[in-house]
Amino acid sequence: MVELLIGTKGTGKTKVLLDNVNSAAATADGNVVFISNNTSQNMYNITSKVRMADTSDFEIGSWDAFFGFICGIISGNFDITNIFVDGTLKIVKDLDGFEAFLAKIDEASKKFDINFVLSVSVDADSAPEYIKKYTK
């Protein structure tokens, strides 16, 4: 499953995401991963059971590079059940290629049985249809 939490900056996406991270960590049969471009900002709001990955330590300049980063995390641990990404558009800064990235993430979700939840700062009303299809 792939789910996007969308809304403009300041609409509470991160709080919802962090609640989902901690809930998944409490009930998951495997490992939970939290990815952000600044994990230290949220490290005290997330249970220590969660594996944290900070993208600012790496030069991720494209959606392909970000997908490779995620695949590296998956290949290092086949017990991952959930991957959460905060500030997706702070990691890769534009929407060009985002649709293809979501398709790859969707395939990986099915292949490895991993639930993905990503927060994306876009206006819910004007978001492209390919983004809206991944929202609840």
Instruction: Render pLDDT for 91-119 as a digit per residue (tens, 0 to 9).
Output: 999 899 999 999 999 999 999 999 999 99
The one-letter code for the residue type at 131 is I
- Give pLDDT tens digits for 9-59: 888 888 898 999 999 999 999 999 999 987 666 666 888 889 999 999 898
Beta bridge pairs of residue 119 = 5
For the ranges 50-59, 67-76, 127-136, the maximum mean pLDDT occurs at: 67-76
Verdict on whether the full-model pTM lies above 0.85: yes
pLDDT at site 14: 87
Residue 1 confidence (pLDDT) above 90:
yes
pLDDT at site 42: 66
Distance from C-alpha of 57 to C-alpha of 38, rounded to nearest angstrom: 9
Q: Which two tokens stand for residue 104?
A: 């790859």
* Class in CATH terms, 2-132: alpha beta
CA–CA distances in Å: residue 83 to residues 44, 49, 75: 18, 13, 13
Query: How do the domains of the chain map onto residue ranges?
Result: 2-132
